[in-house]
Amino acid sequence: MKLLMENWRKHLKEQAEVPPPDFLYHATAPTRLANIMNSGISQGESKFQGNTGQAGISTASSIDALTGGDFGNLILVLDTAKMGSNYKFIPTDYWGDDREKEIRVISKDASLVVSPNAIAKLIFISPKIPRFELKELAKYNIPIESIWKGKTKTYDVGGSFT
């Protein structure tokens, strides 16, 4: 298992770095949003069954790869221009069919995180966002949308929610 992990990390390092697209999409659980807005998205290892891991932050170059909710029902739209230059963007295709459109974001300095200032929009995979949640989300002053069954709804977070 250890040899498998070492080979995987070597494979990731050997893949060609690409220029980032204007926007990347990171899926997560809504319960993690407050922590992300306070501390940013940290670079770490995602743990899977069998303790295998992946370096960096998992993102997709297409929102379509994430709207099924398989990776979390909150999608953070990241503006790569606001991320700075301390990152490498490595396309990763685990399945050989490019279905995930994954780009691993790897910090050139392991202590760095993606700042909450790089979050351009919050997209919830949900038919509706409850009013009490919108009131809480308004404090972040980030555009909010929901996507459900192919329909997109934009929420006005500048208005009053009382």
Q: What is the pLDDT of residue 3?
A: 66
Domains, the chain, ranges and CATH?
23-42+53-155 (3.20.170.30)
Give the pLDDT score at 22.
95
Q: What is the per-residue pLDDT for 111?
A: 61
How much is the pLDDT for 80?
94
Q: pTM, whole model, 2 decimals?
A: 0.80
Rounded Cα–Cα distance for residues 63 and 52 (Å): 26
* Three state DSSP letters for the chain: CHHHHHHHHHHHHHCCCCCCCCEEEEEECHHHHHHHHHHCEECEEEECCCCCEEEEEEEECCHHHCCCCCCCCEEEEEEHHHCCCCEEEEEECCCCCCCCCEEEEEECCCCCEECHHHEEEEEEECCCCCHHHHHHHHHHCCCEEEEECCEEEEECCCCCCC
What per-residue confidence (pLDDT) applies to 2?
67
Q: How confident is the chain (162 residues) per 10-residue block, as mean pLDDT?
A: 62 69 93 91 56 72 88 93 88 77 82 85 91 86 91 76 36
